[in-house]
Structure 1
Amino acid sequence: MKSVTSDIDTTTRRARGIGIRAVAKQAGVSTATVSRFLNRPESVSAELGTRIRAIVDEVGYIPDASARALSSRRTRTIGAIIPTIDNAMFAQGLQSLQRYLSSQNYLLLLATNEYDLDVELAQARNLVSRGIDGLLLRGDAHHEALRDLLQSQQIDFVNVGVYDPDKPYPSIGVDNEAAGRCIVRHLIDLGHRSIGIVAALQRNNDRAQARLRGIISVLAEAGATPPPEWQIQVNYKLDEARQAARTLLQRSERPTAIVCGNDVIAYGVMLEAQKLGLAVPQDLSVVGFDDLEWSRHLQPALTTIHMPTDEIWTRAGEYLVQTLAGHPAMMHREIDFSLVVRESSSPPKWA
Structure 2
Amino acid sequence: MTVTIYDVAREAGVSMATVSRVVNNNPNVKPQTRKKVFEAIERLGYRPNAVARGLASKKTTTVGVVIPDISNPIFSEVARGIEDIANMYHYNIILCNADKKKEKEIRVINTLLEKQVDGLLFMGGAITDEHIQAFKTATVPVVLCATTDESGTIPSVDIDHQAAAFDAVNLLIQYGHRSIGMISGTLQDPSNGNARYLGYKQALDKAGIPFNENYVRIGNYKYESGIEVTKYFLELPNRPTAIFVANDEMAIGTVHAIQDAGLKVPDDISVISVDNIRMASMVRPQLTTVAQPMYDIGAVSMRLLTKLMNKESVDRSKVVLPHEVIIRESVAPHHS
* TM-score of the aligned structures, taking structure 1 as reference length: 0.83
Within 5 A, what are the aligned runs for 1:295-334?
295-329=280-314, 330-334=316-320
Letter in 2 for 1:173: D
Would the aligned equivalents of 1:24 and 1:31 in 2 still touch at CA under 8 Å?
Answer: no
Tell me how far apart the structure 2 counterparts of residues 67 and 15 of structure 1 sit (CA, whole Å): 11
Would the aligned equivalents of 1:20 and 1:31 in 2 still touch at CA under 8 Å?
Answer: no
Corresponding position of 1:286: 271
Shift of 1:33: 5.6
2:100 maps to 1:115: yes
Would the aligned equivalents of 2:3 and 2:47 in 1 still touch at CA under 8 Å?
Answer: no
Corresponding position of 1:342: 328
Letter in 2 for 1:334: V
Corresponding position of 1:237: 222
Greater CA deviation, 239-248 or 329-338? 329-338
2:79 maps to 1:80: no
Corresponding position of 1:99: 84
Greater CA deviation, 85-94 or 161-170? 161-170
Would the aligned equivalents of 2:185 and 2:192 in 1 still touch at CA under 8 Å?
Answer: no
SS of 1:108 mapped into structure 2: strand
Shift of 1:189: 0.7
Shift of 1:333: 1.4
Tell me how far apart the structure 1 counterparts of residues 296 and 251 of structure 2 sit (CA, whole Å): 24
Tell me how far apart the structure 2 counterparts of residues 266 and 32 of structure 1 sit (CA, whole Å): 56
Greater CA deviation, 307-316 or 317-326? 317-326
Corresponding position of 1:275: 260
Tell me how far apart the structure 2 counterparts of residues 23 and 165 of structure 1 sit (CA, whole Å): 57
Q: Which runs of 5+ in 2 are unaligned?
A: 29-34
2:132 maps to 1:143: no
**Which of 162, 173, 196 is the matching residue for 1:177?**
162
Would the aligned equivalents of 1:257 and 1:286 in 2 still touch at CA under 8 Å?
Answer: yes
Alpha-carbon distance change, 55 to 173 in structure 1, aligned in 2, over 3 angstroms: farther
SS of 2:271 mapped into structure 1: strand
Q: Which runs of 5+ in 1 are unaligned?
A: 1-9, 38-42, 45-50
Tell me how far apart the structure 2 counterparts of residues 23 and 108 of structure 1 sit (CA, whole Å): 32
Shift of 1:124: 1.2
Tell me how far apart the structure 2 counterparts of residues 225 and 18 of structure 1 sit (CA, whole Å): 77
Identity, % of aligned positions: 26
Tell me how far apart the structure 1 counterparts of residues 63 and 6 of structure 2 sit (CA, whole Å): 27
Corresponding position of 2:205: 220
Shift of 1:264: 0.4
Greater CA deviation, 177-186 or 57-66? 57-66
Letter in 1 for 2:329: E
**Which of 232, 235, 246 is the matching residue for 1:247?**
232
Tell me how far apart the structure 1 counterparts of residues 291 and 164 of structure 2 sit (CA, whole Å): 9
Would the aligned equivalents of 2:126 and 2:188 in 1 still touch at CA under 8 Å?
Answer: no
Count the aligned residue pairs: 324
SS of 1:136 mapped into structure 2: strand
Q: What's the Cα RMSD here?
A: 2.9
**Which of 109, 112, 125 is the matching residue for 1:124?**
109
Corresponding position of 2:118: 133
Tell me how far apart the structure 2 counterparts of residues 181 and 23 of structure 1 sit (CA, whole Å): 67
Shift of 1:35: 0.7
**Which of 43, 63, 85 is the matching residue for 2:48?**
63
Would the aligned equivalents of 2:272 and 2:288 in 1 still touch at CA under 8 Å?
Answer: yes
Greater CA deviation, 141-150 or 128-137? 141-150
Corresponding position of 1:186: 171
* TM-score of the aligned structures, taking structure 2 as reference length: 0.86
Corresponding position of 2:24: 35
Would the aligned equivalents of 1:263 and 1:295 in 2 still touch at CA under 8 Å?
Answer: yes
Tell me how far apart the structure 1 counterparts of residues 210 and 12 of structure 2 sit (CA, whole Å): 69
Higher relative contact order (CA 8 A, sep 6+): 2
Alpha-carbon distance change, 124 to 275 in structure 1, aligned in 2, over 3 angstroms: same
Letter in 2 for 1:191: G
Which whole-Å deviations, capped at 9, do the CAs of 1:237-265 have from their partners, x for residues lacking one?
11111010000012221111000010001
